[in-house]
Amino acid sequence: MTTLAKTICKLIPVFFLFFSTTSSILAAGPLEPPLNQAVRESLRVRLETSVPTQGLSAAGDSLLATAALPEFYQQRLFHPAWIHDGRPGEAAAEILEAIRQADLEGLVPEHYHLEAIEKLLARISADIAVPLNMSGALADLDLLLTDAFLVLSSHYLNGRINPATVDPEWHARRNQTDPVPLLQSALETGRIRETLQGLLPGQAEYAGLRQALEHYRKIAAAGGWPRIAEGVKLQKGDRGPRVAALRERLAITADLDAELVHGDIFDSALNEAVLRFQRRHGLTDDGVVGKGTLAALNLPAEDRVRQIEVNLERWRWLPRDLGERHILVNIADFHLWVREKSDVVLEMRVVVGKPYRRTPVFSGRMTYLVLNPYWQVPHKLAVEDILPMVKKDPNHLEKINMKVFQGWGADAKAIDPATINWRELHRKRFPYRLRQDPGPINALGRIKFMLPNQYDIYLHDTPAKELFRKDTRTFSSGCIRLEKPLELAEYLLRGSRLEGRQAISDALQGAVDRIQPLPQPIPVHLLYWTSWVEQDGTVQFRQDIYERDQVLDAALSATPPAPEA
């Protein structure tokens, strides 16, 4: 071999080593400072060597987004997201401010690593030149900030609590998004806070409730309101120290003009203030401070603050788009609204489920109604409600126009109730089906509004009109009874063959269990709000009829669960 050939052979390994090294450098981009490299390596080792069963942690805080965190850093080759040249960048300042502002949404900033982040920032900012051995602390900070964004984005979009874990009767559809590209986009555009804020409900009602939270927090921080002593009911014409306390109490929540706070006489102005308070709290608006009104007046300001916070959480559980035209039922308020965009075009009182037969919360689509419906009695109601009454009175079924069938098929034949030994029947032995025929005493009234769902819940007319005069209307077995069924039918059937009140009335004269499709299906949302804000800014509160607020309050106060994958 010639001398030249030997020289070339010796240079070949050197050439390939140079080519390989140069390619690696080009692939990785410009040379990183040693501290950046150390932070990146610390992130890689931390995430690649973590034990799934033991979870991830940083600076003593458990990281919650354990599925999204590794994916996010793998996609960026473990480059830190918030640290640049050993220092937190502008994006870090933005996410820190966003964490602090979670308080405005009724959430707890400390649940998003606020304390650990602030300690690390103080430690890092204390050094003019961050030493190389601080790479672990910088990696901790980067992980905490990333986890805070991922968890906060999940909580803003879907609520901090999975409603199914605290309220098995909540079935509203939840929102979906991939948090990893969301975070990457926010970092690239520098719009951290805007991105997070964009995940919150955009409805004016949410913004109003948010403002109410700020207002009631200020009241609570200033000492709340005075407690009115127990005693006889207060009404117009009374006077004394209890009346003076009442004036001060109502002035604090702006039910009474602040200029009228002084005095101890129950005059016309105070009477109007009491009426306003009663209407805002779903109480009998008689202007008399009786037992129920006094209890609502004396509920501490801190309790009202928490009531607002739990209802902000319920808003975050909802679909972001309720529908340009939709029906909304607030179970806790016993009220229904039909809304087009932000305008209420029809509203009415409703009756909801008893406390032991609660109306579930869900979103559905109403697609048809039934004129003069049969009532096919659910088995549970047949054995729990009707069977005991038949045992007491053998003629009960005849009195309520109800027939007995054996089997659920279309060919099932009616059975003479007199041939049945009702005393031998019980919950576990009841092989019959009960059906109430159309008529003036039919439990469903003359119209049934159908939104097919797995809970067999629907809206319907009722012959028991007197129940709508009561303040608390928990009398049904779960379905929604309507105060104005004809008005709702007229609205829904616009553009159909039954357009107009007269056409509907004529159809009802001869119809028997007649299905009438809607020209346009309409979204229906059965919700549970114990606090909300009207369009004019009036803050409303209602009694927690199903005792759901306390359970949700406890869940919100606990350490947050990991966001759903």
Domain ranges of the chain: 1-30, 31-197, 225-299, 322-549
Residue 131 dihedral angles phi and psi, to the nearest 5°: -75, 160
Do 523 and 533 contact (CB within 8 A), yes or no? no
Mean pLDDT of 546-561: 90
Q: What pLDDT, on a 0 to 100 scale, did the predictor assign at position 33?
A: 75
Tell me which DSSP letter residue 384 carries: I
Residue 436: strand, helix, or coil: strand
* % of the chain exceeding 70 in pLDDT: 92
Question: Whose CA is closest to 319, among 197, 466, 476, 203?
Answer: 203
421 DSSP assignment: -
Which among 113, 155, 335, 460 is annotated as catalytic? Answer: 460
Whole-model pTM?
Answer: 0.88
Average pLDDT over residues 44-66: 86
Q: Residue 124's closest CA among 86, 78, 172, 165?
A: 86
pLDDT, mean of residues 133-138: 87
CA distance 482 to 350: 5
Angle between helices 114-125 and 90-101 (to 10 degrees): 150
Domains 225-299 and 322-549 share a fold: no
Residue 403 pLDDT: 93
How many angstroms separate the CA atoms of 199 and 99, rounded? 14
Q: What is the pLDDT of residues 415-425, one digit of tens each?
A: 999 999 999 99
pLDDT band at residue 463 under the 50/70/90 scheme = very high
Mean pLDDT of 519-534: 96
- pLDDT class for 386, splitting at 50, 70, 90? very high
What does the pLDDT average to over 502-521?
94
* Measured CA distances, 413 to 158, 278, 396, 417, 435 (Å): 50, 53, 20, 12, 12
Give the model's pLDDT for residue 18: 35
State the CB neighbour count (10 A cutoff) for residue 297: 23
Whether the CB-CB separation of 136 and 120 falls below 8 Å is answered with: no
- The amino acid at residue 470 is K
User: What CATH number labels 322-549?
Assistant: 2.40.440.10
Helix (H) or strand (E) holding 79: none
Residue 225 pLDDT grade (very low, low, confident, very high; cuts 50, 70, 90): very high
pLDDT of res. 208: 97
Three-state SS annotation for 108-124: CHHHHCHHHHHHHHHHH
- Out of 113, 171, 281, 479, the active site residue is 479
End-to-end alpha-carbon separation of the chain, Å? 65
The mean pLDDT of 92-107, rounded to a whole number, is 97
pLDDT of residue 170: 72
Distance CA 254, CA 218 (A): 13
% of the chain at pLDDT higher than 90 = 78
pLDDT at 243 over 80: yes
3-state helix, strand, coil in the chain (%, to 5): 45, 15, 35
425-449 burial, b at 16+ Cβ within 10 Å, e below that, comes to beeeeeebbbebbbeeebbbbbbbb
pLDDT of residue 8: 38
pLDDT tens profile 28-42: 445 567 888 999 999
Residue 213 is encoded by which pair of tokens?
Answer: 């939270």
What average pLDDT score do residues 460-488 get?
96
Phi/psi of residue 337, nearest 5 degrees: -130, 140
CB 350 within 8 A of CB 329: yes
Backbone angle region of 223, left / alpha / beta, with phi > 0 → left and psi within -120 to 50 → alpha: left
Region of poorest pLDDT, from 126-140, 195-209, 337-351, 473-487? 126-140
Find the mean pLDDT for residues 466-479.
95
Contact criterion met (CB below 8 Å) for 531 and 333: no
The pLDDT value given to residue 206: 96
Concatenated DSSP letters of 350-408: EEEE-TTSPPPBEEEEEEEEEES--EE--HHHIIIIIHHHHHH-TTHHHHTTEEEESSS
Burial tier of 352 (Cβ tally within 10 Å: 0-12, 13-18, 19+) = buried
Mean pLDDT, the chain, as a whole number? 90
Determine the average pLDDT of the residues in 418-436: 91
Provide the pLDDT confidence category of residue 134 given band limits of 50, 70 and 90: confident
- The residue type of 373 is P
Q: Coil, helix or strand for 559?
A: coil
Residue 9 annotated to the active site? no
Q: Write the DSSP string, 487-499.
A: HHHHHHTTTSTT-
Report the 3 state secondary structure along 286-349.
Answer: CCCECHHHHHHHHCCHHHHHHHHHHHHHHHHHCCCCCCCEEEEEEHHHCEEEEEECCEEEEEEE
Specify whether 479 is catalytic.
Answer: yes
Q: What mean pLDDT is predicted for residues 36-59?
A: 86
Which two structure tokens, joined as six digits, stand for 449?
């509004």
Local confidence band at 52 (pLDDT 50, 70, 90 cut-offs): low
Q: What would the pLDDT profile of 294-344 be if each residue is shown by its tens digit?
A: 999 999 999 999 999 999 999 999 988 999 999 999 999 999 999 998 899
Cα(438)–Cα(466) distance, integer angstroms:
20
Which amino acid is located at 172 in the chain? A
In angstroms, rounded to a whole number, what is the distance separating the alpha carbons of residues 517 and 525?
Answer: 19
* The pLDDT value given to residue 384: 92
CATH architecture of the domain formed by 225-299: Orthogonal Bundle (1.10)
Q: Span 36-58, mean pLDDT? A: 86
